[in-house]
Structure 1
């Protein structure tokens, strides 16, 4: 392997474009996979590369032919299976950065901010240098920060590199995902060790953590929630969409779920308890109790402002549900729904009740998953209302809720994103054909 520089610092390598031998971009480096040893220098065995679709895959360093400033050249053969660190593996940025070590000279505590790798005998890449900063930590918005002298030291000048730091900060990891979707951060947490993912979760604010939990497989949701204090876990559940919170609580032991419900705010707990009363694969179990709900006299301009709220999922923001008061679920009599496209075509001061779509029939809580999928396919619609026998709106089902239940339980873990839509469409078609048959 040829390298344009003798020593490579991982922080500078992160974000570097990976090219195949023909010069086509394969992806970008996001981390370096290390093997830590009780004695001797840690060995770098591969790169975590983010390929199109923001999927992270493993690229062995044996497949890398050249590392130069601004580019990494590989053999062009990339395994698109999602990367997940093994028990023996450690992520340089995700798990070593921010770890504390002790400088032998003066027994001073310092924190790792970067590491250098070099290729030695047998073309083996090893960690040779650490960039550290000394000084006490201070708690900040993103985790723990510190001020102090920085230096580049050899491995034999420090102790504690292989020891997990219980107070290890999460600022760098969280900051690196600031502009990413929650699903991307969720995928990164699944790559890390359970202890490190718990540290990152502990440093996230409740809303961000709630969004990330909604993107994790059920087993990982339960595992991560169990690492939080009970009062913090209840706060995070309150920040989740009620249907996702109900799904998560349904996977917990009954006594634990009951304890968390008692710690939640009464109104949030009421909505979740309502959803827990329905079977998972029914309209009632699939719905959320927080769609965009308005009265018939509400102006078009007000409706457009409501669907513009960033926290509302795109599928639910595609329409508003018009009801008689009260406007909280279960509402007064359900009048109908109005599509966002229709709102965009009408005068801002007009009342939304004039533009209800009469062709959309409501679902009942006991309707099956197959029936929900069939209706969505028939109406070519992203969300459907669910009403009780007295025509009170109970909630709405969005297409993402349906796909989450139609796809295999481990779809987040194995399928490349490029093929997920194909699989999703096949799932909807299969469910629809089964219902018609």
Structure 2
């Protein structure tokens, strides 16, 4: 950015694409790194935390930023691909400074930090935070936005950034990342400090937290769940996909499992217990107990209405299972599967029983992982029914759960490793 350019509010940099000089995207901004200084001097902006396509987070010094314009950042083209590690003297803007309670020097009034602005110093390739956008009044919450006058003040007009924040909120951090997919927000949480991670998790609503927990490594899941009140932990488990919730419950001590199960709705608790009764790497252990189930007299229009449910994963929405009553798993006799593409080719009034595929053999609940993977590969399936000896549908296994268990246990934390520490993103 040329000297004298307007200030930039950091919230506008969240998720912004980073490009090399040739116009190839190298990653996206996930945070900003600053160094606090003595005597109320404005913090120096050291650089950006950039997430590469491999999900590795690296440090991009501001000296290698040539332009910030039109929602994009241009670099010199050379990146150090060593994993970013925060130093004791450094602070993360999104992770540690937003939502902080600070004090207006002139009046002694406590305010909440909503945003910060940065600017480039004249005739130098150095950046610093110069202003703070704050709100007066009490701190808000994830469910009740605080009211009060909002104003922008000079950095020197506030104090309190150097103190360890107790009970820091998460309202503005969540607003910064509200458009992220669950997997990307999970990646953000994974890189926060345990204290900040707990604060953000507490501020998320149950459904959003459930989606994010499903994408986190096991250790993070257990840590977050353990810091929630038991009643809320049970609610979040109910909001998770049953198979993921059962996996998480299975990692907890038996006494804690029973306490959480006792707080859940009886039907959900029964599903959890049934899933936990199977071996981990079997069809019964991998399946979800909530596939789309319809009776034989349902119509194609009924099926399409169920498929349109936005809460369904693409794999579960790919097919419906036709069964005799009861409709909840375990169902009555399983009659067969109707594939989504077939539904699109049939008149809406047609009965699903007239287009059911009964030739495909379902999975046995005790089928092991190699047998399940072979089934998916042989028949090009994205989901498969699991049926017991009595002919009742127990659930469905989806391809994402198969992949999850075939990859190394720590795959969510593993990143691609490059031999060279310095690479030119233009390939030179």
TM-score by length of 2: 0.87
| Matched residue SS, 1:107 | coil
Structure 1 residue 395 displacement after superposition: 0.8
CA contact (8 A) 2:50 2:57 kept: yes
Task: Tell me the equivalent position of 1:371.
Answer: 371
Q: Does 1:160 align with 2:142?
A: no
Name the CA shift for 1:88/1:251 in 2 (closer, same or farther; >3 Å): farther
Q: Does 1:346 align with 2:346?
A: yes
Task: Tell me the equivalent position of 2:32.
Answer: 32
Structure 1 residue 146 displacement after superposition: 3.2
Task: Render the CA deviation track for 1:279-318: whole Å, top value 9, x for unaligned.
Answer: 1111111111111111111111101111110111110110
Gaps of 5+ in 1: 417-437
Separation in 2 of the partners of 1:60 and 1:181?
Answer: 24
Q: Which of 114, 136, 157 does residue 134 from structure 1 map onto?
A: 136
Separation in 2 of the partners of 1:387 and 1:318?
Answer: 18
Q: Select the structure that is richer in helix.
A: 1
Structure 1 residue 262 displacement after superposition: 0.7
Structure 1 residue 150 displacement after superposition: 1.2
TM-score by length of 1: 0.86
CA contact (8 A) 2:48 2:62 kept: no
Q: Which shifted more, 188-197 or 247-256? A: 188-197
Separation in 2 of the partners of 1:215 and 1:280?
Answer: 18
Q: Does 1:21 align with 2:50?
A: no
Q: Which shifted more, 244-253 or 66-75? A: 66-75
Task: Tell me the equivalent position of 2:405.
Answer: 405
Task: Render the CA deviation track for 1:126-185: whole Å, top value 9, x for unaligned.
Answer: 4444333322334463x5423125132234x43221334444332223223333321111
Task: Tell me the equivalent position of 1:419.
Answer: none
Name the CA shift for 1:15/1:401 in 2 (closer, same or farther; >3 Å): closer
Task: Tell me the equivalent position of 1:47.
Answer: 48
Separation in 1 of the partners of 2:255 and 2:409?
Answer: 25
Structure 1 residue 221 displacement after superposition: 0.7
Task: Tell me the equivalent position of 1:236.
Answer: 236
CA contact (8 A) 2:5 2:120 kept: no
Structure 1 residue 6 displacement after superposition: 7.7
Separation in 2 of the partners of 1:43 and 1:89?
Answer: 10
Name the CA shift for 1:277/1:14 in 2 (closer, same or farther; >3 Å): closer
CA contact (8 A) 2:32 2:48 kept: yes
Task: Tell me the equivalent position of 2:78.
Answer: 77
Task: Tell me the equivalent position of 1:314.
Answer: 314
Separation in 1 of the partners of 2:68 and 2:214?
Answer: 39
Separation in 2 of the partners of 1:394 and 1:57?
Answer: 41
Structure 1 residue 56 displacement after superposition: 6.6
| Matched residue SS, 2:412 | helix
Separation in 2 of the partners of 1:81 and 1:409?
Answer: 23
Name the CA shift for 1:88/1:356 in 2 (closer, same or farther; >3 Å): farther
Separation in 2 of the partners of 1:80 and 1:301?
Answer: 52
Separation in 2 of the partners of 1:303 and 1:188?
Answer: 37
Separation in 1 of the partners of 2:125 and 2:233?
Answer: 47
Structure 1 residue 65 displacement after superposition: 3.8
Task: Tell me the equivalent position of 1:200.
Answer: 200
Separation in 2 of the partners of 1:404 and 1:358?
Answer: 28
Name the CA shift for 1:13/1:388 in 2 (closer, same or farther; >3 Å): closer
Task: Render the CA deviation track for 1:80-115: whole Å, top value 9, x for unaligned.
Answer: 677675676532123311211112222111122222
Separation in 2 of the partners of 1:87 and 1:228?
Answer: 28
> Aligned pairs, how many?
413
CA contact (8 A) 1:81 1:414 kept: no
Q: Which shifted more, 19-28 or 284-293? A: 19-28
Separation in 2 of the partners of 1:211 and 1:238?
Answer: 11
Separation in 1 of the partners of 2:61 and 2:381?
Answer: 47
Task: Render the CA deviation track for 1:345-404: whole Å, top value 9, x for unaligned.
Answer: 112111111212133111111111010000110111011111111111111100011011
Structure 1 residue 3 displacement after superposition: 4.6
Q: Which shifted more, 298-307 or 20-29? A: 20-29
Q: CA RMSD for the aligned pairs? A: 2.7
Relative contact order higher in (CA < 8 Å, ≥ 6 apart): 2
CA contact (8 A) 2:140 2:171 kept: no
Q: Does 1:275 align with 2:275?
A: yes
Structure 1 residue 201 displacement after superposition: 1.2
